[in-house]
């Protein structure tokens, strides 16, 4: 079977739609470089489209009905959205699930120090990264600092043209003979990924020396003046002290906006496309659908890159709790009906797949790999080696999805994550499958996955959104 080039299937109107959609997506990437920023951006969009906050409805005991749109945010890092369908929820939902966290460097809780005339922030990398890719590139600082009194200070430095940027230094090639003999995993150690944030010492006015012993004490050089200068800047700009780093969540990400790539502008190059490309496509699909038979649901979660753990990861009960609350407001809740709803649901685990790279062709099985421009991707299974850690979708569900996509003329391809025994990866699919629902991984092919800058095809992003709309409208019909 050959993979069709999606670009060749579009007419002039669709080509224009592709570019418009790509620009919206690039804006989303620029405005959402962290989970918190993604949630803020999403909530602003969906409230304009009539979505209501679930907690407020619960507080006021307001009943829900077919066509209503509700959302629930958990700890400012995860969100679940529902559009109530015509059928009782007991019969199941059509669910899209993606993640909004991406590999990065996290600032430690006691991070600020000075060494050799430089001020640094100590970091701990998050997710699977090639550490050597993060040196000698401009970096930005995003996140929040929460002070003891509960005041939250938002930080976003390095994205505007007049902002300073930060960087991790690298050894000059002239002295790198020993470094270049190391394995790639050891060229840059995790503890060496500290960002340079300053080099100028605090200027302290000197008093006149009258020759007394106290004056001699005053003449002693002060230590860590570069660090003190940074603290003075932070105090002036944000009213924060060094101790406030203890209750901060600061993420170091590549500085700069998403860009069109290639002379033909067919691709998008940006940080964080794994998995915000699927999150955005899922979000837009939810906003595009009209009345549906089954309740449509979209889950956008945190912590997938580190195993979907924690209160905001998919392994948390926040999603199940939200479903229970929605069913209660519909007058449908019981423990048994909740179980029936979850087990009777159909889901697309919306996550990226590795794109074929001709420069590293030996890492892929060309018959079973996703190609940029090949349309939406389905991974029947992920995992590693013998499918370890995978949700392996069943043939009946795949046939059901195929029928929907062929009816709606959606361009799609199937793939695996590289050659058998070479590597692999996981998604949130297996967690939702624990409820007994049908789940399959689907999404967009990504080149340079987990690098500071990742590449996607505009056509694939657009086609994936079309596929998600078709799924929300038709999944579960006569299945």
pLDDT of residue 389: 79
Evaluate whether 314 touches 304 at the Cβ level (below 8 Å): yes
Half-sphere CA count of 314, side-chain side, radius 13 A: 27
Task: Write down the pLDDT at residue 142.
Answer: 98
User: What's the half-sphere exposure (Cβ side, CA atoms, 13 Å) at 174?
Assistant: 0
The DSSP symbol for 166 reads: B
Q: In sequence order, what DSSP letters do the residues of 302-337 get, joined into one string?
A: S-GGGTS-STTSTTSSHHHHHHHHHHHHTT---HHH
Contacts of 354 (CB under 8 A, 6+ apart): 364, 369, 370, 415, 417, 418, 445, 446, 449
Structure tokens at 33: 């470089």
Rounded distance, CA 408 to CA 398, Å?
Answer: 15
CB-CB neighbours of 359 under 10 Å: 6
Taking only the tens of pLDDT, the chain with its 479 residues reads 677 899 999 999 999 999 999 999 999 999 999 999 999 999 999 999 999 999 999 999 999 999 999 999 999 999 999 999 999 999 999 999 999 999 999 999 999 999 999 999 999 999 999 999 999 999 999 999 999 999 999 999 999 999 999 999 999 999 999 999 999 999 999 999 999 999 999 987 666 566 665 555 556 678 999 999 999 999 999 999 999 999 999 999 999 999 999 999 999 999 999 989 999 999 999 999 999 999 999 999 999 999 999 999 999 999 999 999 999 999 999 999 999 999 999 999 999 999 999 999 999 989 999 999 999 999 888 877 888 778 888 999 999 999 999 999 999 999 988 888 777 788 899 999 999 999 999 999 999 999 999 999 999 999 999 999 999 999 887 66
What pLDDT sits at residue 155?
96
Q: For every residue of 389-447, which 3-state class applies, written as one string?
A: CCCCCCHHHHHHHHHHHHHCCCCEEECCCCCCCCCEECCCHHHHHCCCCEEEEEECEEE
pLDDT at residue 216 in the model: 54
Q: How far apart are CA 246 and CA 234, in angstroms?
A: 15
Name beta bridge partners: 123. 107
DSSP-derived letter for residue 370 is: B
The answer to whether the CB of 139 falls within 8 A of the CB of 210 is no
Nearest to 98 by CA among 314, 258, 387: 314
* Segment 116-139, tens digit of pLDDT: 999 999 999 999 999 999 999 999
Cis peptide bond upstream of 31, omega within 30: no
What interhelical angle do 12-31 and 35-48 show, nearest 10? 130
From residue 263, give the alpha-carbon distance in Å to each of 8, 267, 351. 18, 10, 28
Q: CA–CA separation, 373 vs 264, rounded Å?
A: 13
pLDDT at 295: 98
> Three-class SS of residue 111?
strand
pLDDT of 212 reads 62
Four-residue CA torsion sign, 82, 88, 92, 94:
negative
Look at residues 479, 442, 413, 444 and name the one whose alpha carbon lies nearest to residue 95. Answer: 442
Query: What are the pLDDT digits (tens) for 416-465?
Result: 888 887 777 888 999 999 999 999 999 999 999 999 999 999 999 999 99
For the chain, the 3-state helix, strand and coil shares in percent, each to the nearest 5, are 35, 25, 40
Q: With a threshold of 0.85, does the pTM exceed it?
A: yes
Residue 208 has phi, psi (to 5 degrees) of -65, 140
Element (DSSP H or E) covering residue 463: helix 458-474
CB 103 within 8 A of CB 38: no
């Amino acid at each position: 079977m050959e993979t069709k080039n999606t670009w060749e299937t579009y007419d002039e109107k669709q080509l224009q739609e592709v570019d418009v959609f790509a620009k919206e997506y690039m804006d989303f990437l620029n405005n959402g470089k962290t989970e918190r920023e993604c949630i803020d951006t999403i909530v602003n969009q969906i409230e304009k489209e009539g979505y209501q906050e679930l907690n407020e409805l619960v507080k006021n005991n307001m009943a829900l009905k077919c066509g209503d749109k509700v959302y629930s945010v958990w700890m400012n890092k995860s969100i679940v959205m529902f559009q109530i369908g015509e059928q009782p929820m007991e019969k199941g939902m059509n669910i899209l699930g993606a993640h909004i966290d991406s590999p990065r460097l996290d600032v430690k809780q006691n991070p600020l120090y000075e060494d050799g005339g430089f001020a640094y922030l100590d970091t701990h990398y998050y997710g699977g990264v090639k550490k050597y890719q993060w040196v000698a590139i401009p970096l930005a600082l995003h996140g929040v600092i929460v002070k003891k009194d509960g005041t939250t200070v938002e930080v976003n430095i390095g994205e505007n043209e007049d902002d300073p940027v930060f960087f991790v230094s690298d050894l000059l090639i002239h002295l790198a003979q020993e470094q270049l003999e190391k394995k790639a995993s050891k060229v840059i150690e995790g503890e060496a990924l500290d960002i340079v944030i300053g080099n100028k010492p605090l200027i302290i006015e000197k008093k006149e020396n009258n020759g007394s012993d106290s004056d001699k004490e005053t003449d002693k050089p002060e230590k860590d003046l570069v660090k003190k200068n940074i603290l003075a800047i932070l105090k002036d700009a944000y009213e924060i002290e060094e101790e406030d780093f203890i209750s901060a969540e600061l993420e170091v990400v590549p500085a700069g906006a998403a860009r069109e790539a290639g002379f033909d502008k067919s691709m998008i190059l940006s940080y964080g496309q794994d998995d915000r490309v699927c999150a955005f496509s899922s979000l837009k699909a939810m906003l595009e659908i009209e009345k549906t038979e089954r309740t449509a649901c979209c889950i956008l979660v945190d912590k997938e890159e580190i195993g979907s753990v924690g209160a905001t990861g998919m392994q948390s009960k926040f999603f199940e709790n939200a479903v229970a609350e929605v069913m209660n407001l519909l007058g449908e809740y019981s423990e048994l009906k909740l179980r029936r709803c979850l087990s009777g649901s159909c889901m697309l685990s919306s996550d990226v797949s590795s794109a074929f790279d001709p420069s590293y062709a030996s890492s892929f099985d060309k018959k079973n790999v996703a190609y940029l421009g090949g349309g939406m991707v389905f991974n029947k299974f992920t995992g590693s080696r013998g499918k370890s850690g995978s949700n392996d979708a069943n043939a009946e569900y795949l046939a059901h999805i195929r029928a929907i996509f062929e009816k709606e003329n959606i361009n799609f391809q199937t793939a695996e994550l590289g050659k058998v025994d070479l590597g692999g990866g996981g998604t949130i699919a297996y967690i939702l499958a624990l409820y007994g629902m049908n789940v399959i991984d689907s999404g967009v092919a990504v080149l340079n996955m987990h690098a500071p800058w990742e590449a996607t095809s505009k056509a694939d992003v657009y086609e994936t959104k079309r596929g998600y709309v078709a799924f929300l409208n038709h999944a579960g019909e006569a299945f």
